[in-house]
């Protein structure tokens, strides 16, 4: 399931050949998709795809909870088709304590902190400070969530 790109364009070299997503699912020992949630990607790891996954494979989701059909994941774990899974993100956060995921022995759960390494947190803090300085000095910061507002700001206002 690597690399994590849109399902329609997923290719991976498997045994020296370029293969599409379905072939990768059948051959990989594990996978992790890293996508935005769109109408195409929502629950793209579903029952049909999980059935195609190589028996005994592992699934990791650190991207968005809505990429994985939770009912299908539980079913694949209980049928022992998947060896296990790790979920750092969920459709509803925080994950309710009575969620079916909490009852699965082969499902590792973390509270949306998989990316919170010391290096990542330091880089985030530095980038945030740099972008505050950019705004204060009148430069457009590189990671605006709504860049269309930049040109509408009042002149001379920092």
Q: Which residues are catalytic?
A: 64, 93, 112
Pairing of strands 82-87, 57-61: parallel
Query: For residue 53, what are its two tokens?
Result: 């996954």
Helix, coil or strand: residue 85: strand
Mind giving me the DSSP string for 66-77?
GGB-HHHHHHHH
Q: Quick check: 131 and 101 in contact, CB under 8 A?
A: no
Look at phi and psi of residue 121 and say left if phi exceeds 0, alpha if psi is from -120 to 50, else beta. Answer: alpha
């Amino acid at each position: 399931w690597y690399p994590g790109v849109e399902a329609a364009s997923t290719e991976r070299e498997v045994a020296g050949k370029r293969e599409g997503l379905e072939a990768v699912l059948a051959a990989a020992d594990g996978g992790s998709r890293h996508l935005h949630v769109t109408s195409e990607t929502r629950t793209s790891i579903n029952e049909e795809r999980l059935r195609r996954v190589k028996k005994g494979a592992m699934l990791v989701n650190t991207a968005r909870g809505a990429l994985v059909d939770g009912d299908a994941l539980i079913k694949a774990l209980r049928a022992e088709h998947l060896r296990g899974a790790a979920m750092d993100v969920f459709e509803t956060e925080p994950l309710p304590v009575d969620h079916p995921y909490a009852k699965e022995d082969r499902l590792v759960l973390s509270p949306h902190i998989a990316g919170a390494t010391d290096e990542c947190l330091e880089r985030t803090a530095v980038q945030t400070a740099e972008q505050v300085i950019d705004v204060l000095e009148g430069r457009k910061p590189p990671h605006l969530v709504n860049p269309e507002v930049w040109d509408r700001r009042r002149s001379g206002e920092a």
